[in-house]
């Protein structure tokens, strides 16, 4: 039987990952600050913990899926007081500097830290097809192969703390850019009289195809559901983190700054909790059109 695993943070992504591990036969000790979500986890088969520290007192491996660097560091401070925890796996996107601080705090208590941000959205978490970027101890990475195999495809980036976070920020800047750009050209085409579904078909058959045109728009924009499963506020946060790191390295950021303006405007217009596919809505409103599925 698999030893129990701690899981902290049961948002959209955290819930899906925790549920995949439960389904695969891993006993889970879970905690979330929302009592209703924690009660639902208990109904699904997890053991409910009373606090972050309680999780760290009861499990040797603790996984976390958290929304911000600040919350991640707060959780790490509590995890480090645990009597049972021996490794901490942060599935969150928190940036290189926060990851390095977390690594230092945990190492001081003899706890191994793995930065393990994920990509693939809720659908990937539910299907077990996430890309998991990992940095930290290679020995710990190898030891956790059965866990990572449930979540998706784990790629070892480096033994340097924070390296996987840098890789994730690069990935998310690309995702943020292609979604915004695809939304913008779709609005332009519909304004010019083109059918939205035909546009998607042509983009995906040609060199203009992106993950946004293949997955995000057909799934959540054309049917007008806007439920792909990632929050606008989180995407804006990830772009900010990319800019912070790129500027620290002294790099040009003209494209990233333009992308940031689009996402900050979307947060203001649609709210931080809106689905990130809502990035198209302010563009539609400005153009006076709606991008929705046609006959194809």
Nearest to 214 by CA among 248, 266, 178: 178
Give the separation between CA 251 and CA 201, rounded to whole angstroms. Answer: 36
Q: What is the pLDDT of residue 18?
A: 97
Query: Residue 42 CB: number of other CB atoms within 10 A?
Result: 13
Give the separation between CA 182 and CA 188, rounded to whole angstroms. Answer: 10
**Per DSSP, what are the bridge partners of residue 31?**
8
Give the separation between CA 242 and CA 44, rounded to whole angstroms. Answer: 36
Q: What is the pLDDT of residue 294?
A: 53
Q: What is the pLDDT of residue 296?
A: 37
β-strand pairing of 130-135 with 118-119? antiparallel
Domain extents in the chain: 5-160, 166-287
Give the separation between CA 267 and CA 281, rounded to whole angstroms. Answer: 11
Fold type of domain 5-160: Rossmann fold (3.40.50)
What average pLDDT does range 78-95 have in this prediction? Answer: 96
Specify whether 237 is catalytic. no
Q: What is the pLDDT of residue 295?
A: 40
Question: Of these residues, 168, 216, 237, 281, which one is catalytic?
Answer: 168
β-strand pairing of 47-48 with 112-115? unpaired
- The two tokens of residue 103 are 């690594």
pLDDT digits (tens, 9 = 90+) for 228-281: 989 999 999 999 999 999 999 999 999 999 999 999 999 999 999 999 999 999
pLDDT digits (tens, 9 = 90+) for 182-224: 999 999 999 999 999 999 999 999 999 999 999 999 999 999 9
pLDDT digits (tens, 9 = 90+) for 102-153: 999 999 999 999 999 999 989 899 999 999 999 999 999 999 999 999 999 9
5-160 and 166-287 in the same fold: no
Nearest to 7 by CA among 70, 122, 89, 84: 89
pLDDT digits (tens, 9 = 90+) for 26-85: 999 999 999 999 999 999 999 999 999 999 999 999 999 999 999 999 999 999 999 999
* Burial of 170 from C-beta contacts in 10 A (0-12 / 13-18 / 19+): middle
Q: Taking the model in full, what pTM does it have? A: 0.92
Architecture of domain 166-287: Orthogonal Bundle (1.10)
């Amino acid at each position: 039987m698999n030893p129990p695993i701690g899981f902290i943070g049961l948002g959209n992504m955290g819930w899906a990952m925790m549920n995949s591990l439960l389904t695969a036969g891993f006993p889970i000790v879970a905690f979330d600050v929302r009592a209703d979500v924690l009660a639902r986890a208990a109904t699904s088969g997890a053991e409910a913990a009373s606090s972050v520290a309680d999780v760290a007192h009861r499990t040797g491996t603790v996984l976390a899926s958290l929304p911000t660097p600040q919350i991640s560091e707060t959780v790490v401070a509590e995890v480090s007081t645990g009597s049972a925890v021996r490794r901490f796996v942060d599935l969150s996107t928190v940036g290189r500097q926060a990851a390095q601080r977390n690594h230092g705090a945990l190492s001081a208590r003899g706890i191994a830290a793995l930065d393990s941000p994920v990509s693939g959205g809720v659908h990937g978490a539910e299907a077990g097809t996430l890309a998991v970027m990992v940095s930290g101890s290679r020995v710990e990475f190898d030891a956790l192969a059965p866990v990572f195999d449930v979540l998706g495809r784990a790629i070892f980036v480096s033994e340097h703390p924070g390296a996987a976070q840098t890789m994730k920020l690069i990935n998310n800047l690309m995702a943020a850019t292609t979604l915004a750009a695809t939304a913008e050209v779709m609005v332009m085409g519909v304004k010019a009289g083109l059918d939205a579904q035909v546009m998607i078909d042509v983009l995906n058959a040609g060199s203009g195809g992106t993950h946004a045109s293949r997955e995000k728009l057909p799934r959540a924009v054309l049917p007008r559901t806007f439920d792909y499963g990632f929050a606008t506020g989180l995407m804006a946060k990830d772009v900010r983190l990319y800019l912070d790191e790129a500027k620290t390295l002294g790099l040009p950021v003209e494209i990233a700054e333009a992308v940031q303006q689009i996402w900050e405007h979307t947060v203001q217009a649609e709210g931080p909790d809106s689905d990130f596919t809502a990035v198209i809505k302010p563009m539609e409103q400005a153009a006076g059109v709606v991008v929705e599925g046609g006959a194809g």
